[in-house]
Amino acid sequence: MNHVHVNGIEVAYQRHGQGTPLVLIHGFPLDHSIWNEVVPLLQATFDVIVPDLRGFGETALGDSPFTMDGLASDIAGLLDQLGLARAAVAGHSMGGYIALAFARNYPTRLSGLGLVATQTLADPPDRKAGRYKSAEEIAANGTGSIVTSMPAKVTPSTRLQEVARQLMLRQRAESMAAALKAMADRPDSTPLLAKLSCPVVVVHGNADEAIPFDRARDIKSAHPAAELVELPGVGHLPMLEAVEATASALKKLA
Ligand code: MLT
């Protein structure tokens, strides 16, 4: 991993290939390595930048408030450090919420938006309350509950459930708690879609149990110019469950 100083922390990232800059943002509670299978398929087309978000992988949590806007500011700061004015930004799930915050806060820096197994809607009140409750539970008792329950929800493949479980086991309780609260507090990004003039690619499995495929249809309805790639039988981890289809969808951001 490389490291650069951004917003008071050392952000860890990998960088592969040459071409249009493309940032791949991981979801919750994972790290950059969730993208390991697709990166080799993208590096002939893109300058692929794959960070560990604040609090995850090798990047420290730091003291700044942990919000989707703050995480988007870390991505902008990373691009500054790399001397890149613009980039395509693709996010998986929570990473999509961050990519949407980046689109809202840095529109002139965005050359394309990839939304992988994510949604633009905010949480309804019961989901928000549930996230706050889980954050308290994790802060008090550690990551056991999420590491036990979440893998089965993200993919039907027992092999990939184990990959996800191992990745989740490496993450820290305080970061998971912070991320749950930040996701609960995220705004509805649907109105933003109408303002986007860059290419938008939506990649979503139609067997996703964490964020249903209907949320991808919602994005397409609100932004008909978006390219919607439906992955049959795929769950919440398209970058592991449908590696080639995910990579070829993201290539539309070149
Ligand atoms: C994720 O995969 O990043 C999260 O499950 C997203 C969410 O909980 O909304």
pLDDT, tens digit, for every residue of 129-165?
A: 999 999 999 999 999 999 999 999 999 999 999 999 9
Atom of ligand 1 nearest to the CA of 92: 3
Atom of ligand 1 nearest to the CA of 123: 9
Strands 87-92 and 20-25 come out as parallel
Closest by CA to 98, choosing from 74, 80, 72, is 72
pLDDT, tens digit, for every residue of 100-129?
A: 999 999 999 999 999 999 999 999 999 999
Q: What is the mean pLDDT of the chain?
A: 97
Radius of gyration of the chain from its Cα atoms, rounded to whole angstroms: 16
Q: What is the pTM of this model?
A: 0.98
pLDDT, tens digit, for every residue of 174-226?
A: 999 999 999 999 999 999 999 999 999 999 999 999 999 999 999 999 999 99
Dist CA 125 CA 116 (whole Å): 24
Strands 46-51 and 9-16 come out as antiparallel
CA–centroid distance, residue 83 to ligand 1 (Å): 30
